[in-house]
């Protein structure tokens, strides 16, 4: 099982990213030239790489990645330029695990939209993107080959995502309240509220309990009341 996802800045791990993406050509024209240019731009910090890392014999090895860059004509848009998981770790949710860190980075850095593309017949990739909140905006021939690409987008400007981790729900509420500077109203899975407290907005949540049942992670999507009223 992979150990973690991180934003790759170490040159040795950038080398690992380069080797990883070169080994998995996704049938794009001039792919080797693109991979080399991507490597150079990663070293220059013009692109960024998020890597899924597994330690093998004590050495960190890349087994999944997403490459991103700021859109050249719209700095409020983050482009996903390349994403894949080693075949040994596919169909286990690891792509979504990497993407979660990318979206967190996008929100923290003020991006309003994320855009990506995939081969129109890549049902597994498109399905994973849709499950992460993307929608198909267009179908175009982007790379001068016979393949048609699905252009997928996700808008971030309506929601703010906060990922919190704590040993119990009370600690989570205290952390969230400190961020919002408000008392938090927690809703149980059945929709009933824990208490009658003031809240800044409306909350939807996905509670993930790890195997030991001690650490709980809650993903809150926060929409302001003003936005809700304007719908």
Residues 6+ apart with CB under 8 A from 142: 117, 149, 151
Q: What is the pLDDT of residues 26-38, one digit of tens each?
A: 677 788 899 999 9
Domains and CATH numbers, the chain: 4-155 (3.40.630.30), 160-230 (no CATH)
3-class state of residue 225 by DSSP: helix
pTM for this structure?
0.67
pLDDT for the residue 90: 85
74, pLDDT greater than 50: yes
Instruction: Please state the separation of Cα 121 from the chain's center in Å.
Output: 22
How many Cβ atoms sit within 10 Å of the Cβ of residue 183? 14
In this structure, of 137-141, 169-173, 175-179, 212-216, the range with the lowest mean pLDDT score is 212-216
């Amino acid at each position: 099982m992979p150990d973690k996802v991180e934003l790759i800045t170490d040159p040795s791990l950038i080398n690992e990213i380069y080797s990883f993406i070169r080994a998995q050509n996704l049938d794009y024209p001039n792919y080797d030239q693109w991979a080399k240019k991507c490597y150079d731009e990663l070293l220059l910090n013009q692109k960024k790489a998020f890597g899924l890392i597994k330690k093998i014999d004590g050495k960190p090895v890349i087994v999944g990645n997403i490459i991103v860059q700021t859109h050249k004509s719209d700095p409020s848009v983050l482009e996903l330029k390349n994403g894949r998981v080693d075949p040994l770790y596919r169909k286990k949710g690891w792509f979504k695990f990497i993407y979660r860190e990318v979206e967190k980075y996008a929100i923290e850095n003020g991006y309003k939209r994320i855009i990506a593309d995939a081969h129109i017949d890549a049902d597994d990739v498109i399905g994973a993107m849709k499950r992460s909140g993307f929608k198909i905006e267009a179908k175009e021939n982007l790379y001068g080959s016979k393949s048609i690409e699905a252009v997928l987008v996700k808008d971030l400007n309506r929601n703010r995502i906060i990922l919190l981790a704590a040993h119990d729900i009370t600690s989570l509420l205290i952390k969230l309240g400190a961020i919002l500077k408000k008392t938090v109203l927690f809703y149980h899975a059945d929709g009933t509220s824990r208490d009658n407290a003031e809240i800044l907005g409306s909350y939807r949540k996905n509670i993930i309990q790890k195997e030991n049942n001690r650490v709980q992670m809650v993903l809150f999507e926060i929409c302001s009341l003003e936005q809700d009223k304007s719908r």
